[in-house]
Every structure is written in structure tokens, then in C-alpha cells.
Amino acid sequence: MKDIASWALETAKLRGASHAEARIVDERSRALATKNGRIAGASDSESLGIGIRVIANGGFGFAATDDLSREGVEGCAARAVEIARASSSVKSQELYLVPEPAAKADWVSPCKIDPFSIAIEKNLDLLFAIDTALLAVKGVTLAETNMNFRRYEQWFYSSEGSEIHQTIVTSGAGYAAYSFQGTQIQKRSYPNSYGGQFQGRGYELIEELRLLEHAGEIAEQAVALHSAAQYPEGKFNIILDSSQLALQIHESIGHPIELDRVLGMEANFAGTSFLTLDQLRTLKYGSEIVNVVADATPAHGPGLGTFAYDDEGVAAQCTPIISHGLFTGYLTSRDTAAAIGATRSGGCLRAESWNRLPIVRMTNVSILPGESPLTLEQLIASTEHGILMETNRSWSIDDKRYNFQFGCEMGWEIVGGKRGRMLKNPSYSGMTTEFWNSMDAICSRDEWTLWGTPNCGKGQPQQVMGTGHGAAPARFRNIMAGTAYKGNE
């Protein structure tokens, strides 16, 4: 691989590039899904190629190819330089990369059981068993399951001397039960919606999720929601379970802190941002107990945003984003960091694969748990009147990431500190900073989960990237609730 990369770097240098990077990626993925007792999708694919990013005449250029012959790689590098020269002719400002020391490293993500060592037949047997258990509950109309694995091996070389080899294995699985009655559709998912739970681990994650054991309960909840009381409208104290809070973080913190959005360099798929540069270290983003970090380091956990080095050779870091409610940091790359006076990138430049240009992406954007012991049941017990909301069903947020509305699959009324009746069609809305400033309690580490979001889209052409979000159940005061499904009774 080093020889292949050297062809790219030498060609770029000879063509006039002042900086060059080569990423060779060997990727394998498996995706399986069932629907009502039948296979809904099954694929096992592999991909190998090289992406070359250069700077020439002060402009970026990128080209990629799956032809790893010397002729193919040198031709690709030459195209990258040509693109850089063309880009430089329309640049609006000078391009500057903040310094980063050259690194030589070899890192492998934690993986006890290689998911690709498990036969596809065994994967499908588990999914079909879950499918059968869901449909065995009277009133379930549709059962869907899925299981996904990925091995992403990358070799990174730069003209600055970096030589970094990383292998990252990710696994994920989940399912959903739907119940159709009249004009209503009710849904329950496990262990989370939108595919389930994903982490940077091996097949051991699938075993730990105990998927089949929970199928009956999840199916029964989907049917029971039809008979549940309609979620009330008004202002309430709400408790969000950790999976819903993770999505709230993703949409109202993760996207607006992407510095390329703030600078107007990117707006595809998620808009720009309300977090203008003047708000750094001045904006009261949340209450005193809101502490959020962007942490790609392995010590944070096996998230989908965990790695040793990003895709321009910057070491993984933990960046404080919100510190005791104060907005303190953005997601940055080497070319954007200088805009906020940083002397080093935050290590957030990532690409979906070898044929995509690295862009600023979320790592693991997580809210830190409370320091005092507090379980979900204790949080409920300390809430005189409120509503517990579980598992995201829908979301909407404006292109500045400020005004939002979220719907969940299920709610529980809290009266006198006790969990009461089940509620259907729960939803809530608000404005980002007002919402986070209303948070007055968060559970401790034992209730904290590092959730995986495998399908975050950004850029054009679109890149689908995995991100991580750690969260524990938390309470928010006086939140407007019950408007998303008005009239759906």
C-alpha cells in the first residue's frame, strides 16, 4: 500500500502540489433485512480504491479511482492537481492548514467476534426468529428487522510524512413492529428506531442486545398504543429517554457546531447554523448541568465516531462543546480551525469512503452524565407531574438548527412521582437554546448509553456517515408538547 501511495504523492509533487494526501480504503459490508417472514434485502459487498487530496496554487483538489495500477494512480493524482488549480482560480480567500505533526500509527477498533466469521444463514435465522415472534402477537401488521456489519480498513499517507493504518469494525441490528388499525399506524422499535443500535464493535454487540428476548414485549406495546390515551397538549415537564436525547443532541447540537456550516462552506442536507462565530464562549447554550463533548478518542467508548486519527491525519481528540451551559467549541478541520483562532484542528474531517472528499463531520457528540447518583426511576419519582417520552418517531428542524419539533413512539404520564398510563402520539417542540436551558436533571453514568447513528447525511454528492451520541435520561421544564399529531386520535 505504501508503494501505491508513493505513486500518488510523488506525482502530485511533480505536478506542483504543495501538499498531498492519499487514502487507500478496503471496505467490506453486509446488510440483511426481513419483512413479514421474507427477505427484504441481502447484500455482501467489497470495495477497494484510493482518494487523493492535494493543494496546488492555494486551492483544494480531489480525485479518486479504483484502478490501483501505477498508471491509474498517477493519472488520478494528476487530475487532483488539475482540479486544485481550477479551484484556486475562483477562491475567495487564502487556504491555510493549521500545523499537525506527522504520525505513524496502526490502530484496530475493539472486536471480540469478527462479524464476517458468522455465516449469513445464522444471521438470517436470528432475524426470522425475531420476525416470527413479532407477528405472533395479535394485532401486529408488519414486522421489520435488519442487521448490518462493516469492516473499514484505511491506509493514510501524506506529503508531511504521516503513515497511518486503521481498521474499524462496526455492527448494528434492530427491528420494529407496526400495528395498523383504521386510520392509525402505531410503531415500536428495539433497541432504537432507524435501524436499532450500532457501535464500533464486533458480533458481540448483537449478542448483548438480546434482540429476540424483547420481541414479544415490543410487539405488545405497538398494539397497546391504539388503546392508549392521546398525548395531551400544553406545557409539561418532560423526561426524554437516552435514545431520544441522543437524537436531540444530533439535530440541535451536532449539526450546528459543524464549522463549515457556520462559515457558509456547506449547507447540503442540514442547512447552515445559528451558531455564528461571535457566540463562541459567550452564548449560554444550556443550563449549568449541560456538558457536551465531541470525543473521538477510544476512551470515550466504541462509538461510530471513534477512531485514532481522522481522514487528514489528525489525532482523535475530546473537544468541550458546551461547558456548564456555555458554548465553548466547534467541530473543526485543519483548514477551518484558524477561523476561530485555533492552532490545531479538532480532528473532525471524515469521508464516507475512498471516493469521497473528506468534510467536517460529527464524531461522538455526547452529553456527559450527572455526577450524583440518579436512576431513571429516581428521576421519575422526583417529578410531581410530567411525561416520559421514549424512542424517536419523527423530527423536524429548520435550516439554522434552531426551531424544532420531535415526535416519539410512546409516552408515559407521570403523576405524583409515579409512572402512570401509556400515552400515544407524543411530541414536543421548542427552540434550541431555550430547550437546553430548561434542563434541570440528568441521570448518572449507569443510565448513560453511547448510541450509534449510522445514517447521517451531508454534502453533495451525499455522504452517509456514522456518528455517536452518548446520553442519559434527562428532564426538561415547561416544554410545549402535543402538537405534532394534533387531530390524530
Position 488 pLDDT exceeds 60: no
299 Cβ neighbours under 8 A, 6+ residues apart: none
Position 210 pLDDT exceeds 50: yes
Position 327 pLDDT exceeds 60: yes
Q: Are residues 333 and 212 in the same domain?
A: no
pLDDT of residue 484: 57
Q: Residue 343 domain-assigned? A: yes
In 15-157, which ranges are continuous DSSP H helix?
70-88, 120-135
Residue 94's pLDDT band (boundaries 50, 70, 90)? confident
Q: Are residues 123 and 197 in the same domain?
A: yes
Q: Are residues 217 and 201 in the same domain?
A: yes
The beta strands (E) that lie in 398-462 are given as: 403-415, 418-424, 427-431, 439-442, 449-458
Q: Residue 489 domain-assigned? A: no
Q: Residue 20 domain-assigned? A: yes
Q: Are residues 441 and 316 in the same domain?
A: yes
Give how many domains the chain has, as a whole number. 2
Q: 439-478 pLDDT, tens per residue?
A: 999 999 999 999 999 999 999 999 999 999 999 999 999 9
Q: What is the CA radius of gyration of the chain?
A: 24
Position 360 pLDDT exceeds 80: yes
Q: Are residues 208 and 312 in the same domain?
A: no
In angstroms, the Cα distances linking 199 to 93, 120, 130, 213, 228 are 39, 20, 21, 20, 33
Pairing of strands 418-424, 229-230: parallel
What the block records as the C-alpha cell of 336 is 477551518
Q: Residue 86 domain-assigned? A: yes
Position 388 pLDDT exceeds 50: yes
Q: Residue 136 domain-assigned? A: yes
Q: Residue 486 domain-assigned? A: no
Q: Residue 487 domain-assigned? A: no
- Range 229-239 average pLDDT: 94
Q: Are residues 297 and 355 in the same domain?
A: yes
Q: Are residues 461 and 373 in the same domain?
A: yes
pLDDT of residue 293: 98
Q: What percent of the chain has pLDDT over 70?
A: 99
Q: Are residues 32 and 92 in the same domain?
A: yes
The beta strands (E) that lie in 137-233 are given as: 142-158, 163-181, 184-190, 197-199, 229-230
CA dist., res. 137 & res. 135, Å (int): 5
Final residue belonging to a domain, choices 182, 197, 227:
227
Q: Are residues 75 and 201 in the same domain?
A: yes
Final residue belonging to a domain, choices 227, 246, 265:
227
Q: What CATH number is given to the structural domain containing 167?
A: 3.30.2290.10
DSSP β-bridge partners for residue 385: 415
Cβ(198)–Cβ(347) below 8 Å: no
Residue 270's pLDDT band (boundaries 50, 70, 90)? confident
Cβ(13)–Cβ(112) below 8 Å: no
Final residue belonging to a domain, choices 196, 211, 227:
227
* CA atoms lying within 13 Å on the CB side of residue 25: 25
- Range 34-58 average pLDDT: 97
CA dist., res. 485 & res. 64, Å (int): 46
Q: Are residues 152 and 244 in the same domain?
A: no
Q: Is 378 helix (H, G, I), strand (E, B) or coil?
A: helix
Q: Are residues 286 and 147 in the same domain?
A: no
Q: Are residues 223 and 237 in the same domain?
A: no
CA dist., res. 368 & res. 312, Å (int): 28
pLDDT of residue 487: 44
Q: SS3 for 250-315, per residue?
A: HHHHHCCCEHHHHCCCCCCCCCCCCCCHHHCCCCECCCCCCCEEEECCHHHCCCCCCCCECCCCCE
Q: 152-207 pLDDT, tens per residue?
A: 999 999 999 999 999 999 999 999 999 999 999 999 999 999 999 999 999 999 99
Cβ(169)–Cβ(79) below 8 Å: no
Q: 389-413 pLDDT, tens per residue?
A: 999 999 999 999 999 999 999 999 9
- Range 22-38 average pLDDT: 98
Residue 199 belongs to domain spanning: 2-227
